[in-house]
Structure 1
Amino acid sequence: MPEQKSSPVAGVVFDMDGVLTDTETIWDEVRRELAAADGVPWPGEATEAMMGMSTPEWSDYMAATVGVRGDAADVAERTIAAMVERYRVHLPALPGAVQTVERLAQRWPLGLASSSPRRLIDASLDALGIAQHFRVTVSTEEVAAGKPAPDGYARACELLGVEPGRTVAIEDSSNGLRSAAAAGMVVVAVPHEAFPPAPDALALADVSVGGLDEVTVDLLEGLVAAR
């Protein structure tokens, strides 16, 4: 059981894509492939714009802004089905992901707030063998608004029964950092090399680290104690 008595930290909530799983590139490739198959050009701002959006939000963006064939529901189904197939072939974990989850789970209750749909969250955590370490998982499909709105992180804190100001969020994307900060959490940025966050979003983080191996118990306790 996690031990919290002597710690200023109440809990830790992870993002998934780009933090635990190296799937941001896969999402981008799948979406671009759908657009190419439908003969529509890929807008330069589309990749960044959709990071953190909920399934209804990004599928509507794909249909209305990018111009992919079908309505939002059609686009979501085609995209998620393609993602499931890619995951079956290979689900890449980021360096230190499993070890960091296992390490922090020995100390505090863990949650997850992801923009992925529920079936991809469950499949991913099962594939990595870490599902049992998370007390709660929240998909932005299950809240009113996706990142950068605070809804997903706020809901994860609510379900964990922890105060956001004593809870650490671990994020990589611009919209994810904005979401966690808006929820009032202590924010650790783990920027993804291929999709670095915008400077203004990165500035919202309490600290930026070079990888998950740097996310230690001592680091998190120091950050929360300094609040």
Structure 2
Amino acid sequence: MTGSTTGSTTGSALSGFLLDLDGTLVDSESLHRASYEAWFAHRGWELPDLAMFTGRRAEDVFAVEPGPWSGHDPVALAREVVPFVPDEPPTPVLGARDLLLGARATGVPLAIVTSAGPDWVERSLRAMALDLDSVDVVVTSRDVADGKPHPAGYALACERLHIDPAHALAAEDSPAGVRAARGAGVRRVVGVATTHLAARLEDAGATEVHDDLRPLLGLVARG
């Protein structure tokens, strides 16, 4: 564990889990990095700092960040990247499968809130020997007009789960994701330090930071 900051995973009753996917449930950074490296090489463009893509929809990055893609259709560019993702399963983050199974067994409402698309959600769940029935709600890049750090995805997940965001717990690996959850009114946002340093997650508003999801497993036992 990298340590805790202003909060903890104990306290008031938990209304639900709101879990990011990439970097939180699955360690997929190397796969996505490889896809961008191959795509930029294919395009003949200089490779930028790929950290700007972490936790965000590719089309949002292409739309607002300066780069060789300026002036191109951001949605079309994002679609171009998808075929370059290596045909390999992502690696589950420690504790991820047990957390999903525990939430399902104890009836804790559970949503995945991701900047990825539906196909990647299913692929990632298969990597954990799970399927879409393992979660109650999935909010993907296609469900909202504005991606992270905008809070729309988390707000929609809470609406679909019929839960109070103030009493939910969100887990995120990126500053953009942490800001999105906090912006939706989630008070307990756990940072998972797989892609970013703990300090960056804390600066974004994470109430505690861990190396993986195992410290959260006790919560599903309490429900």
Q: Which runs of 5+ in 1 are unaligned?
A: 1-6, 222-227
CA gap of 1:71–1:38, structure 2 versus 1, over 3 A, is same
CA contact (8 A) 1:55 1:117 kept: no
Distance 1:159 1:103, change over 3 A: same
- Deviation of the 1:112 alpha carbon: 0.6
Contact 2:95/2:217 (8 A) holds in 1: no
1:67 alignment counterpart: 69
Cα distance, 1:56 vs. partner? 2.8
Pairwise mapping of residues 189-208 of structure 1 onto structure 2 (< 5 A)?
A: 189-192=191-194, 195-197=195-197, 199=199, 201-203=201-203, 204-208=205-209
The within-5 A match list for 1:1-227 is: 8-44=13-49, 47-60=50-63, 65-67=67-69, 71-83=73-85, 86=86, 88-107=87-106, 108-130=108-130, 131-185=132-186, 186-192=188-194, 195-197=195-197, 199=199, 201-203=201-203, 204-218=205-219
Q: Which has the higher contact order (CA 8 A, sep 6+)?
A: 2
Q: Per-residue deviation at 1:41?
A: 1.2
SS in 1 for 2:148: coil
CA displacement 1:117-176 (0-9 Å, x = unmatched)? 122112322442332220000013211211111111111111000000011101111111
Please tell me whether the aligned partners of residues 191 and 198 of structure 2 are also in contact (alpha carbons under 8 angstroms). no
- Which 5+ residue runs of structure 2 have no aligned equivalent? 1-11
In the aligned structure 1, how far is the partner of 2:219 from the partner of 2:198? 27
In structure 1, what is the Cα distance between the partners aligned to 2:125 and 2:64?
Answer: 27
CA RMSD, 1 decimal: 2.6
Residue aligned with 2:26, SS:
coil
For residues 197 and 139 of structure 1, what CA distance do their matches in structure 2 show? 25
Q: In structure 1, what residue type is equivalent to 2:80?
A: R
Percentage of identical aligned residues:
26
What amino acid maps onto 2:190 in structure 1?
Answer: V
For 2:111 and 2:173, locate their aligned partners in 1 and report how far apart those are by CA, in whole Å. 16
1:170–1:190 CA contact under 8 A, matched in 2: yes
State how far apart, in whole Å, the 2-side matches of 1:167 and 1:210 are: 20
Report the secondary structure of 1:106's partner residue: helix
Give the alignment's TM-score, normalised by structure 1.
0.80
- Distance in 1, Cα, partners of 2:219 & 2:75: 45
Divergent runs of 4+, >6 A: none
Alpha-carbon distance between aligned partners in 2 of 1:48 and 1:8, rounded to the nearest angstrom: 35
Q: 1:75, CA displacement in angstroms? A: 2.1
> Could you give the per-residue CA deviations for residues 191-220 of structure 1, whole angstroms, max 9, x where no partner exists?
11xx21573542411211122111133499
CA drift of 1:35 comes to 1.0
Higher helix residue share:
1
